[in-house]
């Protein structure tokens, strides 16, 4: 029994010694999460741009998958203007005390009309009205971001890159495990992408957000949306209602919106050569040489295709490739049946083709009229019918008498 007791005591001493060793021995340091406070401060400064400002002129550019919209927002007293410029048109919405006026310059038409009370335009007008800076909305955006950070949906990178104009931060929004209730709060639908990667560049002194870009994957394609600040001033000129307010702006806007969707879809649904081809087709249908400039490597081919439709001599000077430029002069020679355009060719091997295109077709030969060629003149036929109705009916008795 004494031996057993000694053994128990020995084991106890060893265990105590080990415990003391592990307590006092140097332990590996526990990694503390990196401090993201400074990066978060820049984030909140960026999304607070314009807070407390009642008067300003704010210009920025939005680019979605390469498609550009440029906005200029002017606020003065109780009036405001939202100007939108895209590759198709320039639009201005005047928000006045008692009216909302739309001015649109599109497809050679320039018109201003009141849109107050126009039900079909309510959503469009509302989408433009939210472009104005709004303290309540800014505070809501900040609260939502704070909530996403606290729930782990927003993940900040602590590193800050100091650039010439601003300090760049990076963060990710990951909604992979979001609940249905919070998905509704952040407007995340069941079909929405779940992961968004952001980069933002903010001036630490002024709080102006110079750039913001985010990328996400949707339907097996990577999409890129970016924002670029053009200017922000806290003074604004007086806003006067446009003169010559008539009707017709709504009809022009409807036409513009239809083509806008087609052009935007060229960017969002296509890439590379397919995108260039899509834009070229739309440029041809609208006879818009400016859209050819968006068609990438198909630009010159796009311009040549418009020449027969417009007979515009200025198009050839827009073309960079000498081969397509020669094709442009050949199209002009054919359109005007004028061989003088052939003198501008650089490739002399195309001279015969150009002269052939410039040659007027021979006059049609007169055709002998046959029964098969007979065409009924409706008015002449009716005159014949009227003469029939004027003749007296045949008298059977008279005929018998004379026969």
pLDDT tens digit sequence for 302-342: 999 999 999 999 999 999 999 999 999 999 999 999 999 99
Residue pair 341/354 in contact by the 8 Å Cβ criterion: yes
Tokens 């307010």, residue located: 245
Cα distance between residue 209 and residue 44, in whole Å: 10
Please give the pLDDT value at position 364.
80
Torsion angles phi and psi, residue 29, rounded to 5:
-65, 145
What's the rounded mean pLDDT across residues 7-18? 39
List the one residue out of 88, 80, 106, 87 whose CA is nearest residue 248: 106
Cα distance between residue 375 and residue 76, in whole Å: 70
- Domain spans of the chain, in order of start: 40-233, 270-358
* Domain 40-233: assigned CATH number: 2.50.20
Instruction: Enumerate the β-bridge partners of residue 71.
Output: 60, 84
In this predicted model, what pLDDT tens digit does every residue of 120-133 receive, in sequence order?
Answer: 899 999 999 999 99
Tally of residues, the chain: 403
Structure tokens at 209: 């957000």
Please give the pLDDT value at position 403.
39
Please give the pLDDT value at position 96.
96
Torsion angles phi and psi, residue 84, rounded to 5:
-125, 125
Q: Which residue has the higher pLDDT, 246 or 188?
A: 246
If pLDDT is split at 50, 70 and 90, which confidence band does 33 have?
low
Radius of gyration of the chain (CA): 38
| CA 84 vs CA 59, 70, 91, 213: distances in Å | 10, 6, 5, 20
In this predicted model, what pLDDT tens digit does every residue of 168-179 receive, in sequence order?
Answer: 999 999 999 888
Cα distance between residue 119 and residue 34, in whole Å: 52
In this predicted model, what pLDDT tens digit does every residue of 212-242 receive, in sequence order?
Answer: 999 999 988 999 999 999 999 999 999 999 9
Structure tokens at 160: 């800050």
Residue pair 82/73 in contact by the 8 Å Cβ criterion: yes
Please give the pLDDT value at position 369.
55
If pLDDT is split at 50, 70 and 90, which confidence band does 15 have?
very low
What's the rounded mean pLDDT across residues 54-80? 97
Please give the pLDDT value at position 340.
96
Instruction: Kindly state the percentage of the chain with pLDDT values over 90.
Output: 74
Residue pair 62/211 in contact by the 8 Å Cβ criterion: no
């Amino acid at each position: 029994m004494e031996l057993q007791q000694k053994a128990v005591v020995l084991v106890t001493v060893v265990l105590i010694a080990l415990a003391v060793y592990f307590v006092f021995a140097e332990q590996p340091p526990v990694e503390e999460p990196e401090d993201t406070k400074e990066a978060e401060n820049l984030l909140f400064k960026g999304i607070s741009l314009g807070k407390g400002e009642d008067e300003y002129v704010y210009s920025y550019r939005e680019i979605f998958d390469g498609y550009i919209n440029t906005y200029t927002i002017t606020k003065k007293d109780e009036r405001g203007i939202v100007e939108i410029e895209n590759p198709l048109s320039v639009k201005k919405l005047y928000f006045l005390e008692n009216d909302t006026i739309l001015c649109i310059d599109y497809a050679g038409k320039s018109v201003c009309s009141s849109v107050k009370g126009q039900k079909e335009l309510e959503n469009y007008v509302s989408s433009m009205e939210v472009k104005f800076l709004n303290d309540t909305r800014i505070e809501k955006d900040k609260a939502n971001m704070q909530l996403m950070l606290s729930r782990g949906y927003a993940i900040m990178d602590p590193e800050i890159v100091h650039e010439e104009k601003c300090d760049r931060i990076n963060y990710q929004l990951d909604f992979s495990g979001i609940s249905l209730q919070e998905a509704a709060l952040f407007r995340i639908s069941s079909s929405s992408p779940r992961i968004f990667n952001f980069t933002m560049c903010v001036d630490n002194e002024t709080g102006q957000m110079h750039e913001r870009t985010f990328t996400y994957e949707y339907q097996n394609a990577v999409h890129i949306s970016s924002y670029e600040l053009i200017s922000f001033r806290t003074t604004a000129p007086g806003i006067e209602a446009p003169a010559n307010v008539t009707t017709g702006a709504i009809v022009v806007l409807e036409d513009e919106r239809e083509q806008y969707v087609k052009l935007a879809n060229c960017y969002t649904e296509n890439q590379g050569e397919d995108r260039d081809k899509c834009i070229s087709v739309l440029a041809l249908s609208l006879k818009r040489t400016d859209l050819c400039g968006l068609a990438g490597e198909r630009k010159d081919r796009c311009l040549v295709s418009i020449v027969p439709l417009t007979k515009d001599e200025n198009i050839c000077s827009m073309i960079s490739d000498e081969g397509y430029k020669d094709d442009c002069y050949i199209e002009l020679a054919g359109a005007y049946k004028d061989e003088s355009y052939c003198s501008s060719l650089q490739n002399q091997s195309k001279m015969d083709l150009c002269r052939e295109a410039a040659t007027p077709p021979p006059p049609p030969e007169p055709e002998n009229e046959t029964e098969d060629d007979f065409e009924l003149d409706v008015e002449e036929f009716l005159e014949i019918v009227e003469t029939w109705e004027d003749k007296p009916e045949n008298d059977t008795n008279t005929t018998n008498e004379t026969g």
